[in-house]
Amino acid sequence: MREKSIDVTAAEDFGNAVIGVRTGTEIEIEARLESLHDGILVSGSVDTEATGECVRCLIEVRIPVEVEFQELFAYSFDEAFDYTVQDDHVDLEPVVRDAVVLSLPFQPVCQEDCLGLCPICGVRLLDNPGHEHDAPVDPRWAALAGLEGLTEASTPHVDVAEASPHADAEEEKR
Protein backbone atom coordinates (compact mmCIF):
# COMPACT_ATOMS: atom_id res chain seq x y z
CA MET A 1 0.00 0.00 0.00
CA ARG A 2 1.25 3.50 -0.84
CA GLU A 3 -0.18 6.91 -0.18
CA LYS A 4 0.54 9.84 -2.49
CA SER A 5 -0.26 13.55 -2.39
CA ILE A 6 -0.32 14.98 -5.89
CA ASP A 7 -0.68 18.66 -6.80
CA VAL A 8 -1.31 19.31 -10.50
CA THR A 9 -2.76 22.04 -12.66
CA ALA A 10 -5.60 21.32 -15.04
CA ALA A 11 -4.14 20.97 -18.54
CA GLU A 12 -7.52 21.66 -20.12
CA ASP A 13 -11.06 22.64 -19.14
CA PHE A 14 -13.38 19.96 -17.89
CA GLY A 15 -16.99 20.46 -17.02
CA ASN A 16 -19.66 22.03 -19.19
CA ALA A 17 -20.33 25.46 -20.69
CA VAL A 18 -21.92 26.76 -17.46
CA ILE A 19 -19.46 25.50 -14.83
CA GLY A 20 -16.23 23.56 -14.72
CA VAL A 21 -12.61 23.35 -13.66
CA ARG A 22 -10.77 25.74 -15.98
CA THR A 23 -7.31 25.34 -17.48
CA GLY A 24 -4.59 26.26 -14.99
CA THR A 25 -6.68 25.57 -11.87
CA GLU A 26 -4.82 23.82 -9.05
CA ILE A 27 -6.03 20.28 -8.29
CA GLU A 28 -5.00 18.51 -5.10
CA ILE A 29 -5.25 14.72 -5.11
CA GLU A 30 -4.78 12.47 -2.08
CA ALA A 31 -4.47 8.90 -3.34
CA ARG A 32 -4.05 5.51 -1.70
CA LEU A 33 -2.83 2.69 -3.94
CA GLU A 34 -3.33 -0.91 -2.79
CA SER A 35 -2.10 -4.03 -4.54
CA LEU A 36 -4.76 -6.68 -5.09
CA HIS A 37 -4.80 -10.00 -6.90
CA ASP A 38 -6.53 -8.51 -10.00
CA GLY A 39 -4.83 -5.13 -10.07
CA ILE A 40 -4.28 -1.91 -8.15
CA LEU A 41 -7.12 -0.37 -6.16
CA VAL A 42 -6.86 3.41 -6.10
CA SER A 43 -8.91 5.29 -3.51
CA GLY A 44 -8.62 9.00 -3.11
CA SER A 45 -10.05 12.45 -2.87
CA VAL A 46 -9.88 15.48 -5.11
CA ASP A 47 -9.93 19.07 -3.89
CA THR A 48 -10.22 21.92 -6.41
CA GLU A 49 -12.43 24.84 -7.40
CA ALA A 50 -14.95 25.09 -10.23
CA THR A 51 -15.85 28.42 -11.80
CA GLY A 52 -18.78 29.37 -13.95
CA GLU A 53 -21.84 31.55 -13.87
CA CYS A 54 -25.16 31.55 -12.07
CA VAL A 55 -27.86 30.23 -14.40
CA ARG A 56 -30.37 32.74 -13.01
CA CYS A 57 -28.46 36.05 -12.87
CA LEU A 58 -25.28 35.29 -14.86
CA ILE A 59 -22.75 36.52 -12.26
CA GLU A 60 -19.52 34.60 -11.64
CA VAL A 61 -19.80 31.60 -9.34
CA ARG A 62 -16.91 29.82 -7.59
CA ILE A 63 -17.75 26.46 -6.07
CA PRO A 64 -15.31 24.37 -4.05
CA VAL A 65 -15.15 20.79 -5.33
CA GLU A 66 -14.36 18.03 -2.86
CA VAL A 67 -15.05 14.56 -4.21
CA GLU A 68 -13.90 11.04 -3.43
CA PHE A 69 -13.23 8.28 -5.94
CA GLN A 70 -12.30 4.61 -5.98
CA GLU A 71 -11.27 2.61 -9.04
CA LEU A 72 -9.62 -0.73 -9.77
CA PHE A 73 -6.87 -0.72 -12.41
CA ALA A 74 -6.48 -4.28 -13.78
CA TYR A 75 -3.08 -5.83 -14.45
CA SER A 76 -4.31 -7.25 -17.77
CA PHE A 77 -7.00 -6.15 -20.19
CA ASP A 78 -10.39 -7.51 -19.23
CA GLU A 79 -13.84 -6.32 -20.26
CA ALA A 80 -14.90 -6.37 -16.61
CA PHE A 81 -12.57 -3.45 -15.78
CA ASP A 82 -12.58 0.05 -17.23
CA TYR A 83 -8.91 0.85 -16.60
CA THR A 84 -5.62 -1.08 -16.78
CA VAL A 85 -2.13 -0.66 -15.37
CA GLN A 86 0.19 0.66 -18.10
CA ASP A 87 3.96 0.05 -17.63
CA ASP A 88 3.62 -0.15 -13.83
CA HIS A 89 1.71 3.17 -13.80
CA VAL A 90 -1.93 4.16 -13.37
CA ASP A 91 -3.39 7.13 -15.22
CA LEU A 92 -5.62 8.98 -12.75
CA GLU A 93 -6.62 11.76 -15.17
CA PRO A 94 -9.80 10.11 -16.55
CA VAL A 95 -10.84 8.90 -13.09
CA VAL A 96 -10.37 12.37 -11.56
CA ARG A 97 -12.11 14.03 -14.52
CA ASP A 98 -15.14 11.72 -14.24
CA ALA A 99 -15.40 12.18 -10.47
CA VAL A 100 -15.18 15.98 -10.66
CA VAL A 101 -17.54 16.42 -13.62
CA LEU A 102 -20.19 14.18 -12.05
CA SER A 103 -20.02 16.16 -8.80
CA LEU A 104 -20.64 19.54 -10.46
CA PRO A 105 -24.13 21.03 -10.10
CA PHE A 106 -26.33 20.78 -13.18
CA GLN A 107 -27.58 24.35 -12.75
CA PRO A 108 -25.26 26.36 -10.48
CA VAL A 109 -26.70 29.38 -8.66
CA CYS A 110 -24.97 32.17 -6.74
CA GLN A 111 -27.34 31.58 -3.81
CA GLU A 112 -30.40 29.40 -3.32
CA ASP A 113 -32.87 32.31 -3.33
CA CYS A 114 -31.40 34.06 -6.39
CA LEU A 115 -34.22 35.88 -8.18
CA GLY A 116 -32.42 36.12 -11.50
CA LEU A 117 -32.73 38.97 -14.00
CA CYS A 118 -35.66 41.21 -14.85
CA PRO A 119 -37.15 39.80 -18.07
CA ILE A 120 -37.90 43.30 -19.37
CA CYS A 121 -34.72 45.31 -18.74
CA GLY A 122 -32.18 42.70 -17.55
CA VAL A 123 -31.30 44.24 -14.17
CA ARG A 124 -30.25 41.80 -11.42
CA LEU A 125 -33.25 41.54 -9.06
CA LEU A 126 -31.20 40.83 -5.90
CA ASP A 127 -29.41 44.17 -6.36
CA ASN A 128 -32.73 46.04 -6.86
CA PRO A 129 -35.35 44.50 -4.56
CA GLY A 130 -38.09 47.08 -5.31
CA HIS A 131 -37.62 46.89 -9.08
CA GLU A 132 -40.92 47.15 -10.98
CA HIS A 133 -42.24 48.08 -14.42
CA ASP A 134 -45.67 49.27 -15.51
CA ALA A 135 -47.92 46.42 -16.52
CA PRO A 136 -47.62 45.85 -20.27
CA VAL A 137 -50.56 46.88 -22.42
CA ASP A 138 -52.19 44.05 -24.29
CA PRO A 139 -51.61 44.85 -27.99
CA ARG A 140 -55.24 44.04 -28.74
CA TRP A 141 -56.31 46.96 -26.52
CA ALA A 142 -53.47 49.36 -27.47
CA ALA A 143 -55.61 51.17 -30.07
CA LEU A 144 -58.08 52.17 -27.34
CA ALA A 145 -55.38 53.87 -25.23
CA GLY A 146 -55.91 57.17 -27.13
CA LEU A 147 -59.58 57.31 -26.11
CA GLU A 148 -58.84 58.04 -22.43
CA GLY A 149 -59.19 61.83 -22.77
CA LEU A 150 -62.63 61.75 -24.36
CA THR A 151 -65.60 62.83 -22.23
CA GLU A 152 -69.30 63.31 -22.91
CA ALA A 153 -68.82 67.06 -23.35
CA SER A 154 -66.19 66.63 -26.07
CA THR A 155 -68.07 63.96 -28.06
CA PRO A 156 -71.09 64.89 -30.18
CA HIS A 157 -74.36 63.38 -29.06
CA VAL A 158 -75.67 60.77 -31.49
CA ASP A 159 -79.29 59.73 -31.36
CA VAL A 160 -79.39 55.95 -31.16
CA ALA A 161 -82.55 55.74 -33.21
CA GLU A 162 -80.92 57.72 -36.02
CA ALA A 163 -77.76 55.59 -35.93
CA SER A 164 -79.64 52.32 -36.05
CA PRO A 165 -79.38 50.48 -39.40
CA HIS A 166 -83.08 49.64 -39.11
CA ALA A 167 -84.12 53.26 -38.65
CA ASP A 168 -85.06 53.68 -42.36
CA ALA A 169 -87.29 50.60 -42.25
CA GLU A 170 -89.08 51.93 -39.17
CA GLU A 171 -89.65 55.32 -40.91
CA GLU A 172 -91.31 53.62 -43.89
CA LYS A 173 -93.71 51.74 -41.60
CA ARG A 174 -94.97 54.97 -40.10
Tell me if 66 is assigned to some domain: yes
Any residues with CB less than 8 A from the CB of 144 and at least 6 apart, and which? none
Tell me if 30 is assigned to some domain: yes
Q: How confident is the model at residue 123 (pLDDT cuts 50, 70, 90)?
A: confident
Tell me if 88 is assigned to some domain: yes
Tell me if 115 is assigned to some domain: no
Tell me if 142 is assigned to some domain: no
Tell me if 162 is assigned to some domain: no
Q: How far is CA 52 from the centre of its chain?
A: 9
Q: Which of 135, 121, 98 is nearest to 14 (CA)?
A: 98
DSSP the chain: -EEEEEEEE-SS-EE-SSEEEPTT-EEEEEEEEEE-SSEEEEEEEEEEEEEEE-TTT--EEEEEEEEEEEEEEESS--TT-SEE-BTTB---HHHHHHHHHHHS-SS--SSTT---B-TTT--BTTT-TT---PPPPPTTTGGGGGGTT--TTTSPP--HHHH-TTHHHHHHH-
Tell me if 71 is assigned to some domain: yes
pLDDT tens readout for residues 38-81 = 889 999 999 999 999 999 999 999 999 999 999 998 887 776 66
pLDDT value for 79: 65
pLDDT greater than 90 at residue 151:
no
Total domains in the fold of the chain: 1
Boundaries of domain holding 94: 2-103
